[in-house]
Amino acid sequence: MVGRANKPSALAATPGLAPQPTVTFSPDNSRVTAELPTGESVEVLLYGATVISWKDSKGDEKLWLSSAAKLDGTKAVRGGIPLVFPVFGPPPPAPHPTSTLPQHGFARTSVWEFLGKSTSESTPATGEGAADLSVKLDFGLSTASLSAEAQSLWPYKFNLIYSLTLSPSTLTTSLVVTNDDDKPFDSQVLLHTYLRVNDITSVSISGLSNSPYLDKLLSPQAQTSGTSDLTITAETDRVYSTPNGASDAVTVLENGKPRFVVTRDNLAQVVVWNPWTEKASGMGDFEPKDGYKNMLCVEPGAVGTWQTLEPGDAFEGAQTISIPN
C-alpha cells in the first residue's frame, strides 16, 4: 500500500470523551446486556424482550427471577419484566379476537428483534460530578415475526417497539403499539414487573389508597382501598385504578424506607400480585418455593378496558422505576 503523506494517525480513542455505556450480545445472541460506566446494568432476553436482570452500581439485583425460570424460549419467563400484549390475564370467552390466545397474550413468548442502542447525557449539574449517562435499547415485534400460529389466532397487522432506558438510578420501559392494519383492533398492555424485596413482611406500598380496585380473589371483585398503605400478608392479586390515573406514583417501602418508586405514563392501572405459599407451590417454574417472600409484582398497565386503535393509530405506555438513594 503506498503510504500517503500527512496521513492522519488513527484515533486510538476520541480524546476527552467520557467512558461510554457498553452493549454486548451473548455468544448465542439470545440476550443483550447494557452496562453504564458507573456499573449499573440491564440484561434482556430477546425471547419476550424480557428484562431478566437490572443491577445497581454495586451489583445489587433489583428484579426477582425464579431460579427455575425457563430462559431457553420454551415458556414465558417467571420473573424479570415479562410483557403483556394484546390481552391481560385469561382472555375473554368467545367471541372475542383474543379468546384463543394464551393468558397475557403472545408478546412475552415471541422472539423480538434488537433494533439498536443509543446513549444520552443529561447536562451536568454545574460544578458537580459528570453528567448522568444513560443508554437506551430498542426492541421490535411485528406481525411478520410472529409464529404462524400466533398470526392465525390474532389476525391483525401490528407493530410493537419496546424501549428500555437505563440510567444510574432509574429503569424506564416503554411500549408503543401501532395498528398497521386496514381495520381497527382492541388491545391491552401491561408491564409485569417482578420487583425484588428483602422480606415481603417488611414491605408496604403507598400511592394506592382511596382507590377503586378489582380483587381477583374476592367476589364481588370491585373494592375500594382505605387510607392506609397496602401490606402483603397473604396471596394478593389486585388491579388498582388509582384516582388520578397514571399520574399517581406507587412507592414500595421496606421497613418504612422507600425502595422503589414507580411512575407511569398513560398506564392507568397498577396490578399488585404476590402468589404467597400455596400459589407459589403450585407453579413448577417458581423457585425457591419461599421466593414469594422476596418478590412483589407491581405491574403498570392499560388493562381497565380495551384500547381501540384505528388503522395507523398508536398507543404508548411507559413505567419508570426509580431507586431512591
**For binding to ligand TA6 (CB under 6 A), which residues are involved?**
76, 89, 103-104, 192, 216, 237, 271, 273, 297, 299
SS3 state at 23: strand
- Given a contact cutoff of 8 angstroms between Cβ atoms, the answer to whether 298 and 237 are in contact is no
- Tell me the C-alpha distance between 121 and 143, whole Å: 34
Min dist CB 237 to ligand TA6, Å, is: 5
Distance CA 138, CA 151 (A): 23
Dist. CA 21–CA 23, nearest whole Å: 7
> Which triple of cell numbers denotes residue 181?
392494519
* 192 catalytically annotated: yes
Kindly write down the DSSP assignment for every residue of 274-313, as one continuous string.
E-HHHHHHH-TT--SGGGGGGEEEEEEEEEEEEEEE-TT-
Catalytic, out of 40, 43, 104, 299:
299
Is residue 162 within 8 A of residue 49, CB to CB? The reply is yes
- Dihedral sign of CA atoms 53, 59, 64, 65 in order: positive
Q: How far is the CB of 303 from ligand TA6 (least distance, A)?
A: 9
Residue 104 is among the residues annotated as catalytic for this protein: no
Residue of 121, 192, 235, 316 marked active site: 192
- Nine cell digits for residue 193: 414487573
| Region at 183 (left for phi over 0; alpha for psi -120 to 50; beta for the rest) | beta
What residues does 275 pair with on adjacent strands? none
- The CA angle 196-202-205, to the nearest 5 degrees, is 70
Shortest separation between residue 192's beta carbon and ligand TA6, angstroms:
6
Q: Tell the smallest beta-carbon distance from residue 299 to ligand TA6 (Å).
A: 5
Work out the number of other CB atoms within 10 angstroms of the CB of residue 231: 13
Residue sitting closest to ligand TA6 (CB) = 273
Q: Map 176-244 to HEC letters.
A: EEEECCCCCEEEEEEECCEEECCCHHHEEEECCCCCEEEECCCCCCEEECCCCCEECCCCEEEEEECCC
Give the nearer residue to ligand TA6 in terms of CB position, either 77 or 141: 77
Note whether 324 and 258 are within 8 A (CB): yes
**Residues that are catalytic:** 192, 299
